[in-house]
Amino acid sequence: MVHAIEAYTSKFQKNMLSDTLAREALKLLSQNIRRVVEDGNDRDARMSMLLGSLLAGMAFTNSPCAAVHALAYPIGSHFHVPHGLSNSLMLPHVLRFNREHAAAAEMYKELTPLVFPTLSAVQGTDVNVMADGFYQLALDLQIPTRLPEVGIQSKDLHLLATQAMKVDRLMPNNPREVKFEDALELYSQAYNC
Ligand SMILES: [Fe+2]
């Protein structure tokens, strides 16, 4: 899901193909993620997750990932946190950070109803609704939502921010520029939330 979202809001190479792939991926993934966790033998749901993952992979191949991934990489490399989980830990905070970028905020409004149709029908399409939705989804799926839960201490945040700023293959693709102080703040939010 992070692959699709970051492809959809990528700063330089977003295009009609990556947008289409990202939207279809998000529909499949959001409709099936709870089903597969509840019942790992649900083969239809698993097939939809695989297809969604494939489409999201094709999306970010055409329109590369950005700050969520750049911030997730040091969490994985220094604390041996799985890739998907490290992305999930940072996603809600980067969404809220990017909300301040007007064009990104509009793009997220297009995605929120696809990802959380029931929630957005009640609460609207603002990116905060999507950020809250992902945080709640992680809680519901019983995966960690805060950095201390994966062994990260407050003294580690400076190192993480320093390392994230070196991911210059991805960080510049973020719709809103991320400076060192921003990276540190984003890690602080993921630590304290
Ligand atoms: Fe990834």
pLDDT digits (tens, 9 = 90+) for 85-133: 999 999 999 999 999 999 999 999 999 999 999 999 999 999 999 999 9
Say what the pLDDT of residue 175 is. 98
Total tally of structural domains belonging to the chain: 2
Ligand 1 centroid to 66 CA: how many Å?
10
CA separation (Å) from 100 to 104, 156, 175? 8, 27, 10
- State whether 77 and 40 are in the same domain: no
- State whether 50 and 101 are in the same domain: no
Ligand 1 centroid to 122 CA: how many Å?
30
Ligand 1 centroid to 86 CA: how many Å?
9
Ligand 1 centroid to 167 CA: how many Å?
13
Say what the pLDDT of residue 76 is. 98
With contact defined as beta carbons under 8 Å apart, do 111 and 5 qualify? yes
Say what the pLDDT of residue 23 is. 98
Say what the pLDDT of residue 60 is. 98
| High-pLDDT (> 70) share of the chain, % | 100
Angstrom distance (rounded) from CA 188 to CA 193: 8
151 backbone φψ class: left, alpha, beta (φ>0; ψ -120 to 50): left
**Which residue range forms the structural domain that includes residue 45?**
1-64
Angstrom distance (rounded) from CA 8 to CA 111: 9
- State whether 73 and 110 are in the same domain: yes
With contact defined as beta carbons under 8 Å apart, do 13 and 59 qualify? no
Ligand 1 centroid to 6 CA: how many Å?
10
Domain boundary among 29, 64, 99: 64
Ligand 1 centroid to 41 CA: how many Å?
25
Angstrom distance (rounded) from CA 134 to CA 117: 13
Ligand 1 centroid to 170 CA: how many Å?
11
Say what the pLDDT of residue 178 is. 98
Angstrom distance (rounded) from CA 24 to CA 52: 7
Amino acid identity for residue 115 in this structure: V
Nearest CA to 189 out of 135, 127, 115 is that of 135
Q: Which residues of the chain have pLDDT under 70?
A: none
